[in-house]
Structure formats: C-alpha cells, structure tokens
Amino acid sequence: MIHKSTYTDTIRKPLDTISWEDDNFIEELLEVAQLFRPFSEAMDEFLTEQGFAGDIKDTDAKVAFIRAAFAKANMDSPREVREWFAGQPVKRDTVFQICFAFGLDGGETDEFFRRIYTRERSFNCHLLQEAIYYFCMNNGLTWADALDIQSRAPLAGRNAGSGDVVYTGSIIAELNGLESREEFIAWLKENMDKFVPYGNVTAYETIRRLWQQAAGPDGLLIREHQRLSSLLDDEAMGKKSTFRTGSSGAKPYDAYLAILQLDKKAVRMLGTDRSIKPILERLHDDAQDSFPDRQGIDRILRGEHVSYERVRKWLVLLTFYTHWARKALAGGSYEALSGDADRCITEMNRYLMDCGYPELYIGNPYDWIFFYAVKDREPLRTFRYIWNELLTDTLEKHR
C-alpha cells in the first residue's frame, strides 16, 4: 500500500518518465492505472486510522462501524455504504458527509480528499454549499449546523458570470477571517455574487459555446484540418485525410472523432455502434466512467439531463482542445512554448470553477491524462497519439 505522504508524488512521477517515443509507451501508460487505488482500499486504511479493530475484509463489520459513526453524529447514513466496498462510485457530497460523521476538521477533510477520495480536490468554495462546509468544519460546527446555515442563506449565483471569476483561494482567505456563525451568515448575504449555482446550467451553456467554436461552420476543427497536418494524413502519398462537414459545420460524431483525431473506418472495426468503448475499457475505471462520447454531447446540445461526471469530462475535453487548437492555428504549429502548459491548466481550471466544478486534480485518472499531455512539446498531438495508439493496440489484440 502506498504511504500517504508519497501517494500523489507516486502518481505525478510518470508525467516525467514516460515518453510517447518509448517502444512500450502504451504498456507504460496503462501501468499508471495501477497506481490509482480504489476508494474501497483507501477507505480500509481510513477506517483503521479511525479505530476500526475488526477484520478489514469483513464488509458487514466495516458497514456497521461507518453507520455507528453517522449515528453518533446524529446523521442518517447513506443507503449505499455497502456498495462502496463493491466498487460503486461515491458522490462528492457524500464524501463531505463522511467527513462530518467522523468529526474531521477542514484540514483533515482536505487530507481525506487527497488520500482517500483521490478523484477530486477538496473544498470548492466557489460553491455556496462547500463554502458552508468549509466554515463549519473549521469552526467545530456539525452537519446539522451546515444544513441550518444553508437554509438561512439567500439564493446563490444571481450575478454569477457578470464579472471576473472569484477563485476558491480568495474566498477561503475571507472565510478564515470570520469567527462566529452570525458573522458568517452576514458575510454570505453580502457576498452572494461570489458564488455560482450548484447545477449544470452554466456548464451546459459553456459546452455549447465551446462546441460551436470547435465544430461550427468556421470552427477550429475545420480550420485545423485545412491548415495543419494530421496524424491521419498519408504523408508518404502526400494525401490529406478526409473530414466531412456541412453548411452548419461538422456532425457531432465526426467532430468527436476529429477532436481525438481517430479514423472513422478504424473505429468501425471495433464492432461497436459509433463508440470507442473497447479502447476505454483498458483505462482506469474512473477514467472510463462517463468518458466523453457521441451520446453525451448530443444530449447536452439538446439540453437533456446527463450526469455531473459526464458534463465535467466534456467540459475538460473541450477546454483542452480549444485552448491548444487556437494556439496551433495562431502559430502554425502544435509546438508549445515555455509556460504554455501552466497557462493551459489555469485556463481549464478557470472554466471548471466558473461552472461550479472542482479544479483539475492529479489524483483523478481522467485528469491525469491531460496533465501528461500538456507537459509534452506538442500537447494536442500527444493527446491524440494516445488514443490512436490505444486504438491500434486494441485492434491488434482483437485479431
């Protein structure tokens, strides 16, 4: 088991040691998935630290221990506690409830997210709900107190998006200067414009706007295909790859494959209905879960409800693509300059926070792929190379 002080360091190390030029690149890349331990295994470590003395393999005993902690904190325990140890994804808000139930303060909750719930960062105080959690945990208040404060706060997000994004760090600095519950509630009433609504409205609007930039009539994908080289070009024959578009731009499926720069005929050989699922099955479960797909973008563009995770992953993909495609078209090359990687991550985080989502996190297997790509000299080409190599490798294994 990876020691807590080196867990994220271990995950970060392959960013510098794996190269797309390595002969065994895909094998090295897939081995990274083994570094991301499942929540159930991490939870076993946490329970032991909290005084669980039973058999760590006894799920019933662990469930009873967790339910007892919730009862002691006068909280209703989640119904799905048993399923946590069978691989069921755990919701972000449920993680905060666990931290309240076990009496963790703000620093300990941050540590819980870093070591145990490694999928995301902790407090996103750009959201009213999590700002309340932060204040309560750092001032010895309970889950019931948090719910009471939330019920007394006015609606958030009325002026969201009307000015510059207020970063979580600046909100936390202000929260650290508040000492009482009443002072905190008064501060909330005066600062509601710093928060965004807890929902996907802003994210949906942002994704639609980014999608239009990427796949519209004069979108980045069309201009990129016209002006820049592609992994799918036949350089030996001097033949350009095809990219079908119409008067309204590219169709969603064609645009989706073009973002990843996957050949439609090759994908068809996977034997799926316009899906790349067979190559995704080789990734970590958390990277596979709700991975951007044609159905997801179709539903988002139509305004239909999709999961929190599906929206977030589409948002991450589109912010990454549009950032590097704009730079490539402006400079006539996919090559990144000094400082470009940090600027990209900053821009992606800004989009995420503006839409009410946590920042990118190195401990998230999906986010890790983007952290890896931005460090290369040609981030967008490297990102696409990963999917092309996975596709080729998967097809070879199916022959």
Q: Which of 253, 252, 231 is nearest to 241 (CA)?
A: 231
- Position 113 in a domain: no
Q: Are residues 159 and 220 in the same domain?
A: no
pLDDT tens per residue, range 215-254:
999 999 999 999 999 999 877 666 888 888 888 899 999 9
Query: Looking at per-residue confidence, does 345 or 38 come out higher?
Result: 345
Query: Looking at per-residue confidence, does 94 or 5 come out higher?
Result: 94
pLDDT of 74 > 90? The answer is yes
Last residue of a domain, one of 164, 198, 232: 198
pTM over 0.75, yes/no:
yes
Percent of the chain with pLDDT strictly greater than 90: 66
Between the alpha carbon of residue 334 and those of residues 194, 231, 329, 371, the distances in Å are 36, 12, 8, 17
| pLDDT confidence tier of residue 2, bands split at 50, 70 and 90 | very low
End-to-end C-alpha distance for the chain, whole angstroms: 37
User: What is the C-alpha separation between 291 and 313, in angstroms, rounded?
Assistant: 6
| pLDDT confidence tier of residue 363, bands split at 50, 70 and 90 | confident
pLDDT at residue 1, as a whole number: 40
Q: Are residues 308 and 278 in the same domain?
A: yes
The total domain count for the chain is 2
pLDDT tens per residue, range 153-164:
876 544 444 445
pLDDT at residue 163, as a whole number: 47
Q: Are residues 191 and 320 in the same domain?
A: no
pLDDT tens per residue, range 78-118:
999 999 999 888 999 999 999 999 999 999 999 899 889 87
- Position 384 in a domain: yes
Query: Which two tokens mark 245?
Result: 């578009």
Last residue of a domain, one of 160, 179, 198: 198
Helix (H) or strand (E) holding 134: helix 128-138
Asked if 220 and 211 touch (Cβ cutoff 8 Å), the reply is no
Residue span of the structural domain in which 156 resides = 123-198
